[in-house]
Amino acid sequence: MLDHLSRAEFKDGYWDYEPGEHVVFAQPTGGGKSRWMYELLQVTMAHYGDALSYRVAIPKRRDEEAARWNAALGLRETPVWPPVPSLRRKPAGWAVWPKHLTAAPGQDPDVILVKDRAHIEKQLKACCMDGYQKGKCIFCADDIYKAAVYLHMNALFSEVLSDGRSMDFGLWGCNTKPSGTKDGSVTSFFWNQPTHYFFGKDTDERNRDRFGEMGGVDPKYISQVVMDLQIHRIGRNNISDQLYISKAGSDGHGGVAMCIIGP
């Protein structure tokens, strides 16, 4: 029987993050993974302060949740990387949110889409590579599938997932479609290199099959637990319980520790 914790209990007493560790947030759209990522980032920022740099990469056109959390955490939004020099006070971190191109009447939307993706790719890659080279950084990919497949960042993600820990560079990624699509999927390193995993309820067996790639766990057991997680209606959102798996173990000495985190 897995222990059940509230989010407050987990954040206050159980979240134990070390620089350079990678984190997975995986569940279908609308389950609250981005919100949970920001909540844990907030706790981590409070603990490490200026010892680390913090960057959130947002490839979406609009996202009210991200905008609210960026403001709450003191993450200054910038459409380009590096940010334009400013005399303003140094922010707590950065939210790299490029401005998207929009097709005007008469323009070919497919052509604009290709140009738009190339523009977004350039900014997010520059931010990620800069953080990786400098080290001591948490880079949050709020939609790692889109970044990996449509923005061609899989090669970079593979490198930072395999080598980033020695640089104290941690990749945190939110993934809506673990199984991938006909267009591709996130690098397999995303499933076996991280230390921390948060899985929300997922009824798609193809998605749950990827979870077994982390190693050290019974994939059939994990699949069943994820399928049976509870959903809670909070406001207008259906928020899933989270299955948390730590490869560091409950005592930091190896092994796998698991619990279920409620609202």
The single-letter DSSP state of residue 60 is S
Check whether 255 has a pLDDT greater than 80.
no
Check whether 256 has a pLDDT greater than 90.
no
- Give Cβ neighbours of residue 21 (< 8 Å, ≥ 6 apart): 165, 170, 194, 195, 196, 248
Q: What is the rounded CA–CA span in Å between residue 195 and residue 248?
A: 6
Question: pLDDT value at position 103?
Answer: 86
In this prediction, what percent of the chain has a pLDDT beyond 90? 80
The single-letter DSSP state of residue 261 is E
Cβ atoms 145, 185 nearer than 8 A: yes
**Could you tell me the pLDDT band of residue 227, with boundaries at 50, 70 and 90?**
very high
Check whether 250 has a pLDDT greater than 70.
no
Has this prediction a pTM greater than 0.75?
yes
Question: pLDDT value at position 117?
Answer: 95
Two structure tokens written together for 158:
């593979």
- Give Cβ neighbours of residue 91 (< 8 Å, ≥ 6 apart): 74, 75, 76
**What value does the mean pLDDT of the chain take?**
93
> Total domain count for the chain?
1
Q: What is the rounded CA–CA span in Å between residue 77 and residue 179?
A: 31
Give the tens place of pLDDT for each residue, 30-64: 888 999 999 999 999 999 999 999 999 999 999 99
Looking at residues 239-256, what average pLDDT do you find?
A: 78
Sort strands 53-57 and 137-141 into parallel, antiparallel or unpaired: parallel
Q: Which domain holds residue 145?
A: 4-261
Tell me how far apart the 2 most distant CA atoms of the chain are, in Å. 62
Q: What is the rounded CA–CA span in Å between residue 171 and residue 137?
A: 9
Give the tens place of pLDDT for each residue, 160-185: 999 999 999 999 999 998 999 999 99
CATH code of the domain covering residue 124: 3.40.50.300
Question: In this structure, is the dihedral angle defined by the CA atoms of residues 149, 203, 142 and 198, taken in order, positive or negative?
Answer: negative
Lowest mean pLDDT across 83-92, 148-157, 194-203, 249-258? 249-258
Lowest mean pLDDT across 29-33, 142-146, 246-250? 246-250
**Could you tell me the pLDDT band of residue 197, with boundaries at 50, 70 and 90?**
very high
Looking at residues 136-148, what average pLDDT do you find?
A: 96
Q: Which residue, chain included where needed, has tokens 């690098």?
A: 187
Q: What is the rounded CA–CA span in Å between residue 223 and residue 8?
A: 25
Check whether 198 has a pLDDT greater than 70.
yes
Cβ atoms 79, 95 nearer than 8 A: no
Beta strands in 33-191 (DSSP E): 53-57, 75-78, 93-96, 137-141, 169-175
CB atoms within 10 A of CB 207: 21
Question: pLDDT value at position 30?
Answer: 82
Question: pLDDT value at position 254?
Answer: 52
